[in-house]
Amino acid sequence: MKNSLKINCFTTISIILTLLFVSCKTNSQTSFKSFENKKNLLISDNLKWSERMALSIMKRHPESYMIDDRTVAKWDYVHAVVLNSIEELYKKTKDKKYYNYVKSYADILIDENGDISKTYTVETYNIDLITPGSILFDLYETTQDKRYLVAMQTLRKQIEEQPRTPSGGFWHKKIYPNQMWLDGLFMGEPFYAQYTATFENGKKLDDIAKQFELIQLHATDKKTGLLYHAWDESKQMPWANKQTGTSPNFWSRSIGWYAMALVDVLDYFPKNHPKQKELVGYLNNVANALVKFQDKSGLWYQVTDKGGKAGNYLESSGSSMFTYALAKGANKGYLPKKFKTIAIKAFDGLTTQLIQVEPNGEINITQACAVAGLGGNPYRDGSYGYYINERKKDNDPKATGPFILAALELDR
């Protein structure tokens, strides 16, 4: 009888402990099952555009690793672009669901020792993979969880070892020797700037400024003031101009990456830093160039300077990036106040021309170029025809994230 009682008690306790474990595990995995279970949840049009977009993303992707329609968690820049914007939204709203959504991505990809190598390989020296580190600063400051610090240190080590052109510019990837892409300025420099400002007393700010100096010097078109997508210092790539090393066309999203990189790294350059005014000057140069090519709708075309050419189209990711950079630049005092008005016109163009609203209030952003690059296999030649014929994708993260940032800067 006693043995039977012991067995029953043991069984009961085991069941209770199992249920508690499952419950805790379920709760710790995500705070967003509520979104998964509320597919018909209405997103009110009384909310600001920033929250409407964030909630739409979270409905489509209840787990943050699912952003960009992923089925497996991966350390990737596209997630960072969206999660950085949601992190900024959390700072403004203090709504914990946004914080939890960001944190869940870090927690699924960083193990108990701070290791991110499950889906990250340093040996590729892909500068895109630095970007997710930007979401870790606030998480570390809030939690003091050393896993986040270790992960950031891993990325900082990659920057230290990243191959460079003879002039000192970071290669975009190991497979793209001696090439600097505008994309890479955004992928690497904001994290690098925040890291050196936070942990190194800003000792590497000159190196960060140098990356912009090289691009400004070698990738800027003197006639238009726009910047070419990439620069090959060796001038060996088939797409590279044999005299200048630049790629042949202006791609709006690449210029958008560059403009966002400038306004974001400037957060970490003190006004008395010798290079601060130089960077502000670069931002003014690109802002003034962009205004010349803004469509009457407020938006910009996929190939920036060829708005009237057959096949070109008003593109949402580049337009969202420009809107954010111009609005933040004006808000911070880097740009004249008129650029705030220009940004408002652009944002109105996005909401009236490229945003679709579902019956349940979910919003979609359309006309986003899914991807574009140079070289590789199959080979991408950077021609006009190449850029306009790359596939488009609704709700691409390169559009949704910058849209939220633009909305926040404009309080929309």
pLDDT tens, 87-104? 999 999 999 999 999 999
Over residues 366-395, the mean pLDDT reads 98
Could you count the other beta carbons within 10 Å of the beta carbon of residue 92? 13
pLDDT-based confidence at residue 39 (cuts at 50, 70, 90): low
Helix (H) or strand (E) holding 363: strand 363-365
Lowest average pLDDT, out of 21-25, 218-222, 249-253, goes to: 21-25
With bands split at pLDDT 50, 70 and 90, how would you rate the model's confidence at 41? confident
Give the residue-averaged pLDDT of 157-169. Answer: 98
What pLDDT sits at residue 8? 52
Q: Are 235 and 180 in contact (CB under 8 A)?
A: no
Burial of 296 (0-12, 13-18, 19+ CB in 10 A): exposed
Quick check: 212 and 200 in contact, CB under 8 A?
A: no
Q: Mind listing the pLDDT tens digit for each residue in 105-143?
A: 999 999 999 999 999 999 999 999 999 999 999 999 999
pLDDT (tens digit, 9 = 90+) per residue, 47-62?
A: 999 999 999 999 999 9
- Name the residue with higher pLDDT: 354 or 19: 354
The residue count for the chain: 412
What local confidence, expressed as pLDDT, does residue 7 receive? 46
Query: Comparing C-alpha atoms, which of 256, 259, 255, 238 is closest to residue 247?
Result: 238
Question: Residue 22: pLDDT above 70?
Answer: no
Summarised one tens digit per residue, pLDDT across range 198-211 is: 999 999 999 999 99
pTM of the prediction? 0.91
The yes-or-no verdict on residue 10 having pLDDT over 60 is: no
Q: Tokens 């950085």 appear where?
A: 84
Do 178 and 246 form a contact (C-beta atoms < 8 A)? no
Residue 183 bears catalytic tag: yes
Please give the pLDDT value at position 25.
40
Q: Are 173 and 187 in contact (CB under 8 A)?
A: no
* Active-site annotation holder among 107, 183, 305, 396: 183
How many whole angstroms separate alpha carbon 105 and alpha carbon 110?
9
Whether residue 17 is predicted with pLDDT greater than 70 in this model: the reply is no
Across the chain, mean pLDDT equals: 93
Higher pLDDT, 162 or 36: 162
Is pLDDT above 70 for 16? Answer: no
DSSP β-ladder status, 230-232 and 179-181: antiparallel
Would you say residue 291 has pLDDT above 60?
yes
CA distance 286 to 293: 11
DSSP line for 34-89: HHHT-TT----TTS-HHHHHHHHHHHH-SSGGGGGG-SS----HHHHHHHHHHHHH
Tell me: the pLDDT tens digits for 319-330?
999 999 999 999
User: DSSP secondary-structure letter at 364?
Assistant: E
| pLDDT tier at 11, thresholds 50, 70, 90 | low
In sequence order, which residues have a C-beta less than 8 Å from that of residue 268 and are 6 or more positions away?
A: 193, 194, 196, 197, 202, 205
Mean pLDDT along residues 158-171: 98
